[in-house]
Amino acid sequence: MKVAVIGGAGMVSKATVFDLMNAGVDTLVVDLRKPSFDVNYIKGDLNNIDEVASAIRNCDYAINAAQYYLNLNAMQACLKAGVNYIDLGGLFWMTNQQLKLNEQFEKAGLLALIGMGAEPGITNVAAAYLHKKFGTPEKIKIRNGWRSLGKNKINWSLDTQLDEMTMEAPVFEDGKFVYKPPFSLSEECEFSAPVGKIKTYLTIHSEIATFPTSFSGVKYVDWMEGGDGIETMYSLAQLGFGDKEEVLGVSPRRYLYELLKKKGLLGYSTTEKPDEWEAAKVVFHFSNKQAEIEVVIPPNPELGVDATQYGAGVPPSVAVQLGVKGKGVLPPEKVVPPERFFDELSKRGFKIILRAFSYWEDVTKKSLF
């Protein structure tokens, strides 16, 4: 099997590439810049669809780890090359655009597995497991938290983080989507140690785009996230640093990126040992009971990645190693076998916990793997 990782020189995709190579998968990185580690590499720019299609033509899968604004370009490159497509996510609005390509991928006999990172990705597979075991709930709540035990860093796309701080957040209520300001809803959430209690906030996310149809009959779906640095990022966005339009000849968002880079706050140096942990919960609410899966994600300091990077980077590699199949543009809850997927995550240090209880009984808790 041969797998291309588009954008494979990035902060998150390092985990993808190393997981593939450790499994003996023939791995190719396609990116504008050469990776800092030893791997087969071809220079490619997603603004040139033909160029990328040519680079990936002989691959079985292409994992797109580039900035999500270019997801549609990467999908078109896969259609041209006749290659199955996987990405790490695209926020709600991009997910809806990607789903419109379903017919093209079906006709080509190709799979486009969208949102196969941590959140989305692991969360989607967790929801599929809960649905299989307990049926369709009245409400689905998705919660994500993180905690740095040392210095907090910008560990994934600054653009995507600022989009989450500035774009209206969808909530599925009573059969329709409603849109609310980011951070307009919040909730304290207790995660397993070392993450602990975190205040989570409503932001835009892509699970909301697919859960209402994947789990037909659900009446309510929302997403909230929180952790070290999120309030600071929101404040910066409110001050205008999330804006792309130039002020005095400079984009505030671009200025913030360059400033963080200068301060050494973008990613980790080769001498640093990342120590951020992350956890995600998917909670199914029924009329008389509740069930949830929590996934606790560790850092991988030997690889030089924290939990956010490791958690988003590993799942697409696991998906291709499981040989995921299908035709059309599909979310993880419709494609990935939960038991096999979670078994593979557990081998990589992830902890998967199932909790189920009636509202008048004690919690039943067990590790699934």
pLDDT in tens, 203-249: 999 999 999 999 999 999 999 999 999 999 999 999 999 999 999 99
The CATH number for 80's domain is 3.40.50.720
Of 93, 113, 133, which residue constitutes the final position of a domain? Answer: 113
pLDDT confidence of residue 293: 97
pLDDT confidence of residue 198: 98
Q: Are 55 and 28 in contact (CB under 8 A)?
A: yes
List, in order, residues 6 or more apart from 298 with CB less than 8 Å away.
277, 307, 310, 349, 350
pLDDT confidence of residue 267: 80
pLDDT in tens, 309-332: 999 999 999 999 999 999 999 999
Same domain flag for 133 and 217: yes
Residue 99 located in a structural domain:
yes
Residue 352 located in a structural domain:
yes
Residues above pLDDT 70, as percent of the chain? 97
**Distances in whole angstroms, Cα of residue 1 to Cα of each of 62, 164, 336:** 11, 36, 18
Same domain flag for 278 and 159: yes
Q: Are 3 and 24 in contact (CB under 8 A)?
A: no
Q: pTM (2 decimals)?
A: 0.94
Residue 329 located in a structural domain:
no
pLDDT at 39 over 90: yes
pLDDT confidence of residue 359: 60
- Number of CB atoms found within 10 A of residue 74's CB: 28
pLDDT in tens, 157-200: 889 999 999 999 999 999 999 999 999 999 999 999 999 999 99
Please state, rounded to an integer, the average pLDDT across all residues of the chain.
95
How many structural domains does the chain have?
A: 2
What is the pLDDT confidence band of residue 151, given thresholds at 50, 70 and 90? confident
Q: Are 200 and 231 in contact (CB under 8 A)?
A: no
> Residues 274-301: what's their mean pLDDT?
96
Residue 252 located in a structural domain:
yes
pLDDT confidence of residue 67: 95
What is the phi/psi pair of residue 37, to 5°?
Answer: -120, 165
pLDDT at 94 over 80: yes
Same domain flag for 212 and 69: no
Of 75, 92, 113, which residue constitutes the final position of a domain? Answer: 113
Same domain flag for 191 and 292: yes
What range defines the domain where residue 241 resides? 122-306+338-367
